[in-house]
Amino acid sequence: MNKKILVIGTSNIDFIFRVPHFHQVGETIVAEVMTTAFGGKGANQAITIKQLGSKVIFLTKLGNDVYGEQYKKYFLKKGMDAKWILKDKKLPTGMAIIELSPKGENRIMVSPGANHSLLPKDLIKNPPPWKEINLFLTQLEIPLETVSTGLELAQTYGVITILNPSPGQRLSSRILSMVDFLIPNETEAEIISGIKIRKDKDIEKIGNILMEMGSRNIVVTLGEKGLFFKNQDETIWMEAFKVDVKDTTAAGDAFIGAFAHGIHKGWPIREVLKFANASGALATTKIGAQPSLPMKKDLDDFFLNNLKY
Residue extents of the structural domains in the chain: 4-11+41-91+115-304
Higher-pLDDT residue of 43 and 289 is 43
Distance CA 165, CA 262 (A): 19
Give the pTM.
0.93
**Three-state DSSP state, 34:** strand
Query: Per-residue pLDDT for 308 more than 70?
Result: no
Within 112-257, strands assigned E span 133-139, 160-164, 181-182, 217-221, 227-230, 235-238
Nearest to 255 by CA among 95, 137, 105: 137
Calculate mean pLDDT across residues 38-45. 94
Chain mean pLDDT for the chain? 93
Whether residue 306 is predicted with pLDDT greater than 80 in this model: the reply is: no
DSSP state of 225: G
Element (H, E) at 211: helix 200-212
Would you call 135 exposed, middle or buried from its count of C-beta atoms within 10 A (0-12, 13-18, 19+)?
A: buried
270 Cβ partners below 8 Å, 6+ apart? 236
Q: Report the pLDDT value the prediction gives residue 51, as an integer from 0 to 100.
A: 94
User: Which one is predicted more confidently, 245 or 60?
Assistant: 60
CATH class of 4-11+41-91+115-304: alpha beta
Q: What is the pLDDT of residue 113?
A: 96
Q: Which residues are catalytic?
A: 253
- Report the Cα 194 to chain-centroid distance in Å: 22
pLDDT at 198: 93
Using a CB cutoff of 8 Å and minimum separation of 24, what contacts does 263-267 make?
263/135, 263/160, 263/162, 263/181, 264/1, 264/3, 264/5, 264/49, 264/54, 264/134, 264/135, 264/160, 265/1, 265/54, 266/1
Q: Say which range, 1-5, 34-38, 122-126, has the weakest mean pLDDT.
A: 1-5
Q: What is the mean pLDDT of residues 28-41?
A: 91
156-169 pLDDT, tens digit each: 999 999 999 999 99
Share of the chain above pLDDT 70, in %: 98
The pLDDT score that the predictor gives to residue 30 is 92
Strand partners, 59: 8
Distance, in Å, from the CA atom of 78 to the CA atom of 47, rounded to the nearest integer, reads 8
Helix/strand/coil percent split, the chain, to 5: 40, 25, 35
Give the mean pLDDT of 246-272: 93
pLDDT of 274 higher than 60: yes
- Is a pLDDT exceeding 80 seen at residue 8? yes
Determine what percent of the chain is predicted with pLDDT higher than 90. 76
Per-residue pLDDT at 247 = 80
Q: Give the confidence band of 307 by pLDDT, cuts at 50, 70, 90.
A: low
Higher pLDDT, 23 or 280: 280
Residue 154, pLDDT > 60, answer: yes
**pLDDT mean over 6-31:** 92
Residue 105's pLDDT is: 83
pLDDT at 244: 84
- Range 147-174 average pLDDT: 97
| Whether pLDDT at 261 is above 90 | yes
Mean pLDDT in residue range 226-234: 96
Statement: residue 277 has pLDDT above 80 = yes
The whole-number pLDDT of residue 1 equals 55
Residue 108: band (very low, low, confident or very high) from pLDDT cuts 50, 70, 90: confident
Q: For position 300, what pLDDT does the model report?
A: 86
